[in-house]
A and B are shown apart, each in its own frame.
Chain A
């Protein structure tokens, strides 16, 4: 049985400065989302996606321009698309100003990618501001990062858990358990950190992954999501369907947890 509603809290769009076929890409996300039954995409644009400055180290100019493009997409489909405000914590003042500006443009969450290690003190003012405003922080995570990879300063669940422990009133979304690395490592790192909500997105569809996460943290902390691959998002939706979850558990994962952690009235669902 499908869930009553479906919210994708980890979506991305493109724009003219990030890829030539951005219109096709964005249309494909929305039309595939319709087929899957996604009611709302909560999305971000990471600067120029590497065209003018690196995706994970986007310049302040690119951060702002990408956010503006994201707000424009949300403005065009206000019932279907909501925005994160993406920030680069290496530019603290700019990041805080972007959050304020983002809220005024309708952003409902803060997006952190891989610009600075999650447990670095530079993230504290951003996490505190998000908590003060009741906005969740979606943080890009490399599951069990064992070394540094090029063009990013990725964090793993242990590092995100340190930040979450310093900000117990802020909700963090641990990005894409299927997005690369060892998801089993992340389970133990965040099992007892109640303000971290892992999302299921990513191209990884390992058998046993969803079962293991549900056994560890339960349905009230897991968020269904798709990220860059809606096909694997749909696969996980079908996989959840055969796990024998109760309708309540399925609804928690697919939309109710998102309703709880985003600001009130973020989603126009009955």
Chain B
């Protein structure tokens, strides 16, 4: 591969989606897509596990699927912090080299005031695991009638970020409104631990991405492609259009976020 455009894609999944057919959502295909788009590696979750009651079998499947591609694909297993034995799942994730865990409060029916969110934040902060949140998988207007979870709220994000000064959070799939509501409702010490991808942020002519770069700062953003649900070309296109008008535009590195999370945990 020539010089990667982005070192890491933090928002990738493999596996089937319950509500529509996705073309070949397989690890081997993801590796080819990353190569084609000049993206170095990906943090990868199990897509179907977002709707599973017990994510353990799906996490085991995820580890097995990614093992042949361990140099490119890193596992981000799914965490269900209201399930017996969930802390053991975190220890397993650490031992397998996972940089992060995926937490889906809306799909689990966990409210923003639930104590399990703070527990999850403390446990992940203690282990140097980044928490990844997903605002949505599909546009609200096209969802299946049974996909009634609703979008992640700023209140959920605030609860997690505020729960532990060591926890680092990456939020995928937010639009301008949610990013602004969350960012400006956190202290500077809190929002430096909260990162966003721009897969659902609009570029020109509304220029929401450029506006956010100007206001909340480019260092709050990290690349996420939303594969296999959405065309990975979308955030690349948004970036390239902004880059043309913002020379030298850079964003945060997922590797740096992970290093910070591990440093804060005191375990590494």
Q: Which residues of A contact B (CB under 8 A)?
A: 24-26, 28-29, 31-32, 35-36, 142-144, 180-184, 203-208, 211, 228-232, 234-236, 238-239, 242
Contacts and interface: CB of A to CB of B under 8 A. Distances in A.
Given A31-B204, A204-B139, A238-B236, 17 more contacts: A25-B205, A25-B206, A26-B205, A28-B204, A32-B204, A180-B141, A180-B142, A206-B231, A207-B22, A207-B227, A208-B21, A208-B23, A228-B206, A230-B205, A231-B204, A231-B237, A234-B240
B236 A235 contact: yes
A205 B199 CA distance: 10
B203 A230 contact: yes
Nearest to B200: A203
Nearest to B245: A31
Nearest to A32: B204
A207 B23 contact: yes
Contact of B142 (A36, A204, A234): A204
A239 B233 contact: yes
A206 B229 CA distance: 6
Contacts of B86: none
22 contacts: A28-B205, A28-B206, A32-B204, A35-B244, A36-B241, A180-B139, A181-B141, A204-B142, A205-B231, A207-B22, A207-B228, A207-B229, A207-B231, A208-B21, A211-B23, A231-B202, A231-B209, A232-B237, A234-B233, A235-B236, A235-B237, A235-B238
A29 B234 contact: no
Interface residues of B, number: 30
Interface of B: 20-23, 36, 138-139, 141-142, 202-207, 209, 227-231, 233-234, 236-238, 240-241, 244-245
Which of A31, A180, A229 has most B Cβ within 10 Å?
A229
Contacts of B244: 35
Given A208-B22, A234-B241, A32 B205 contact: yes
B241 A239 contact: no
Contact of B204 (A203, A230, A235, A242): A230
Contacts of B238: 231, 235
B20 A184 contact: yes
A53 to B, nearest CB: 22
Contacts of A144: 142
Nearest to A204: B139
A-B complex: 3 closest residue pairs judged by Cβ atoms: A231-B203, A32-B204, A180-B141
Which DSSP category, helix, strand, loop or mixed, fits chain A's interface?
A: helix
Contact of B205 (A29, A180, A181): A29
Nearest to B19: A182
B234 A235 contact: yes
A183 B21 CA distance: 13
B201 to A, nearest CB: 9
A235 B226 CA distance: 13
Contacts of B203: 32, 229-231
Contacts of A25: 205-206
A25 B206 CA distance: 7
Given A204-B139, A205-B234, A242-B36, A229 B202 contact: yes
A178 to B, nearest CB: 9
A28 B207 contact: yes
A239 B235 CA distance: 12
Nearest to A144: B142
A247 B87 CA distance: 54
Which of A35, A144, A235 has most B Cβ within 10 Å?
A235
Nearest to A228: B206
Contacts of B245: 31
Contacts of A228: 202, 205-206
Nearest to A229: B202
Contacts of A31: 204, 245
A266 to B, nearest CB: 23
